[in-house]
Structure 1
Amino acid sequence: MPSKRLLALEKGKDTAAISVEMSSSRPLPIKAIQIFMRFLIMGFCFSIISVNRYRTFVKKSVIAEAPSTYQPCFEEASSIESWIRTQSGLRHAMNDTELFWRASFYPIIKEYPFKRVPKIAFMFLAAGPLPLAPLWQKFFDGHEGLYSIYIHSSPSYVAPFPPTSVFYNRHVSSQVAEWGRMSMCDAEKRLLANALLDISNEWFVLVSESCIPLRNFTIVYRYISRSKYSFMGSFDEHGPFGRGRYNRNMEPEVTLSQWRKGSQWFVVNRRLAVHIVEDVKYYPKFKNFCKPACYVDEHYFPTMLTIKVPHLLANRTLTRVDWSRGGDHPVTFGKSDITEEFFKKIFERETCLYNNQPSTICFLFARKFAPSALDPLSELSSKVLGF
């Protein structure tokens, strides 16, 4: 039998094991748990601060290395007012590509959700000064809100118009335009595109520095605004100055039977103006294959619009010219030509169709008038021109 001492030792072992087991299962002290939680919270906060600082550092580094070059061409449209507001000046940072794209926006819904007074945009395509500006000033006086003015001249020309003039600050950003070349059509598209930025402009009249109005503003506004058609000459001329200028490299976009000729001095409505500035299909053909002695300004717009919207053209111009002396340019009228009899002959010879009905008013403008014609024109304007 085991001795009493051995039994005592074995019993002591069991008691110690039970004691150790009980002590290992005892919960941790509350103070130790609190200290552990504090370290855990501090570690979490530190990790958040570190992540935020890293993100800020990365963002600043990216901005410093690659600054943004984005500059909006126009103010973001946050309301309808920002779309319809008319700019006081015509200077902007858009190039032609951006300008034509912006101007091609066209409202499909015909009813405007705001009060809109339709205006006529008078677009002056000039080499430099406007020597007949005083006569046009008389024409425009008293009709504010019904017209707007745009001038395209040589980039180096600085206009001397005072703030009281209707022509003050009305020059668009321009480029050199050469007679008979595509740069002339580019200038006309530039005028149209700038005018289209004003949502109130409904009709667009292209005139030169040698043009004059033949009627007063009221008649001109009524005649244009009530017309069912746009006024652009578009004729199929079979001679050497018509079909003789056609280049077969323009096929298949433009065929010989579609080739047209007309005066560059047009009056178009907003729909056709958009057709002109948005065109990228026919433009390359005319630029590459209609060069002197093919004068692109006489063929590009008439041909393109006849292909796209022939039913909207009146097939005549509203600007009278005199080709009776022949040559590459019409007759220029000077001081000695300006008499009452001169205008009487012009008006008596008029006969045409207006909205498919016979009319004795066929021309609203005329050219070419020399600077010397200004004084007699100013003296006779109230009597023979009505303003």
Structure 2
Amino acid sequence: MKSNKKEPTTSAPTILRLINGQKKLHLHNVIFFALFFAFGLLSGLGVGLYLSNISFTFQLRQFSISKSGPGGGSPVLIRRSDPPPSAWHEMGEEELLWRASMVPRVPEFPFHRVPKVAFMFLTVGALPLAPLWELFFKGGDDGLYTIYIHSLPSYDNATADFPVGSVFYGRRIPSKDVQWGKSTMVGAERRLLANALLDFSNERFVLLSESCIPLYNFTTIYNHLINSPESHVEVYDQLGPVGRGRYNPAMDPVIKLAHWRKGSQWFEMDRRLAVEVVSDRTYFPTFEKFCNGSCYGDEHYLPTLVNIRFGGWNSNRTLTWADWSVRGPHPRSFWRPDVTVGFLEGLRDGGKCEEYGKSVGVAAGGGIGVHYYVNRNNKSDSSGGTGDRGSKCFLFARKFRSHSLTRLLRFAPGVMQF
């Protein structure tokens, strides 16, 4: 007998609706998880790129990437002509020196590199002769130089003393406590070099004070430095209390008395020597520990380091003239009445290197003791060939006070030709 009960049935439309609902739910889940995964991936990439950018922004910010290389090949790096907008950063001393010490193993550059000169100003506070330097830099291509200023941290106007249009605007570097004449002064010089080394295009490095002036126009000084085969760190051996008398026997055996040298704080060097200075982990710590009291590291550290390890790279003289004819620990200062056309012309034409090498020993350091000045007159120091050294022995001069600025601005166009 047939049962009157009917099997429960589900209509086809109902089944299809359930299947479609499950598919939609599953599809929504897939879409949701896919979006979540993509968001996480993009966030991770963004954070990684951001951290990478922090790590390498100082080495790469002076470059840009073109669309393609010659013939439509791979992208190539091209040096931007405009300088970085600011020299300020948040790196500590250890990280800064580490980054600055990096040297490429491949000598060829993968971009068109135009060598620049880094002008590094070590100042107590303001830069009183800035208008003269503005005139000097105006005569040069801004793609051929960079400027760095290190002043005492206590200087209140460090971030606001130059207008936006000035070549010095934004060019002060972060600084730590500096005591003039102590090992921290050498630390300030190394910090200036380290900041300048972050720009791959910087090839020559000049240390200047707030009282320095240029003796020639930008083009002359740039060509002289870029074509020089040597660095210019003054190195000599001086007897007496202000020379060998400053040596601390506790430095032995790292630094022996026979290694000890003296020289001007104001130097010029090429990139390879600058890298060695910021990378030094042997001699600088010894100076920090044992060069104290009457020992002035800024007069001894670089001359001693260069004498021990890099003498063959060096001319053993400074490019910055000073008048040591007065007795005392400092050279003569020049005020407004001292600045005349004849005086400036004499600095440009009268500073022959062979005469400088003979006379500086009597007056340097107050005329106490004797030193032995090594001067290689048979080597060329510029592109002018052998024996050209006597024509441009000095490119800069000091110590010019702020009162001399008006006359310097008046005479510079005619005498210095800028």
TM, length-normalised to structure 1: 0.78
Q: Distance in 2 between matches of 1:364 and 1:296?
A: 24
Instruction: Name the structure 2 match of 1:373.
Output: 404
Query: What does residue 135 of structure 1 align with?
Result: 132
Q: Who is 1:278 aligned against?
A: 279
Q: Contact (CA 8 Å) 1:180, 1:292: kept in 2 or not?
A: no
What residue identity is the alignment partner of 1:291?
N
The runs of at least 4 consecutive aligned structure 1 residues that moved more than 4 Å come to 70-73, 76-86
Letter in 2 for 1:155: P
Residues 1-387 of structure 1 mapped to structure 2, 5 A cutoff:
73-75=54-56, 81=64, 87-143=84-140, 144-157=142-155, 158=157, 159-352=160-353, 353=377, 354-355=380-381, 357=387, 358-387=389-418
Q: Indicate how the Cα distance of structure 1 residues 377 and 246 shifts in structure 2: closer, same or farther if over 3 A, else same.
A: same
Query: Which protein has the larger Cα radius of gyration, Structure 1 or Structure 2?
Result: 1
Matches of 2:238 and 2:105 in 1, distance apart?
Answer: 35
Shift of 1:206: 0.3
Q: Distance in 2 between matches of 1:117 and 1:375?
A: 35
- Deviation of 1:256 (Å): 0.9
Q: Which amino acid aligns with 1:313?
A: N
Instruction: Give 1:239 deviation, angstroms.
Output: 2.4
User: Which amino acid is 2:229 matched to?
Assistant: K
SS in 2 for 1:327: coil
Q: CA–CA distance in 2 between the matches of 1:142 and 1:380?
A: 16
User: 2:292 and 2:213 mapped to 1: Cα distance?
Assistant: 29
What secondary structure is seen at the aligned counterpart in 1 of 2:308?
helix
| Mapped contact 1:180–1:291 kept (Cα < 8 A) | no
Q: Distance in 2 between matches of 1:346 and 1:114?
A: 40
Contact 1:150 1:172 survives alignment (8 Å): yes
- Give, in whole Å, the separation in 2 of the partners of 1:348 and 1:122: 23
Query: Any conservation in 1 of the 2:139–2:219 contact (CA below 8 Å)?
Result: no
Question: 8 Å contact 1:230–1:267 — kept in the other structure?
Answer: yes
Deviations 1:215-250 (A, max 9, x none): 111110111111110000011222222111111111
Distance 1:81 1:258 in 2: 45
Please report how far the alpha carbon of residue 78 of structure 1 lies from its aligned counterpart in structure 2 after TM superposition. Answer: 9.9
Partner amino acid, structure 1, of 2:146: S
Aligned partner letter, 1:331: R
- The 3 A distance-change label for structure 1 pair 104 and 291 is same
Q: Deviations over 1:314-367 (max 9, x none)?
A: 000000011111111111101010101212332343212443624221000000
SS in 1 for 2:184: helix
Q: What residue identity is the alignment partner of 1:113?
A: P
Conserved 8 A contact 1:212-1:369: yes
Residues 346-355 or 374-383, more deviating: 346-355
Contact 2:139 2:217 in 1 (8 A): no
The match for 1:52 is none
Q: Which runs of 5+ in 2 are unaligned?
A: 1-49, 66-76, 354-376
Provide the secondary structure at the position in 2 that maps to 1:74. Answer: helix
Tell me: CA distance 1:264–1:114, structure 2 relative to 1, closer, same or farther (3 Å).
Answer: same
Could you say what secondary structure the match of 2:55 adopts?
A: coil
The letter of the residue matching 2:189 is E
Query: Residue deviations 1:31-65, cap 9 Å, x none?
Result: xxxxxxxxxxxxxxxxxxxxxxxxxxxxxxxxxxx
Q: One-letter code of the match for 1:156?
A: S
**What is the CA–CA distance in structure 2 between the aligned matches of 1:342 and 1:136, rounded to whole Å?**
19
Alignment deviations for residues 56-103 of structure 1 (CA, whole Å, 9 cap, x no partner): xxxxxxxxxxxxxx9665248999858977642112121000000000
Compute the displacement of 1:294 (Å). Answer: 1.1
RMSD: 2.5
Structure 1: runs of 5 or more not aligned? 1-69
**Aligned residue pairs: how many?**
323
Q: Is the 8 A contact 2:349 2:392 kept in 1?
A: no
Q: Distance in 2 between matches of 1:275 and 1:163?
A: 35
Measure, in 2, the Cα distance between the counterparts of 1:78 and 1:107. 14
* Cα deviation digits, residues 153-189 of structure 1 (max 9, x gap): 1223323211110000100001232121011111111
| TM-aligned CA deviation for residue 107 of structure 1 | 2.1
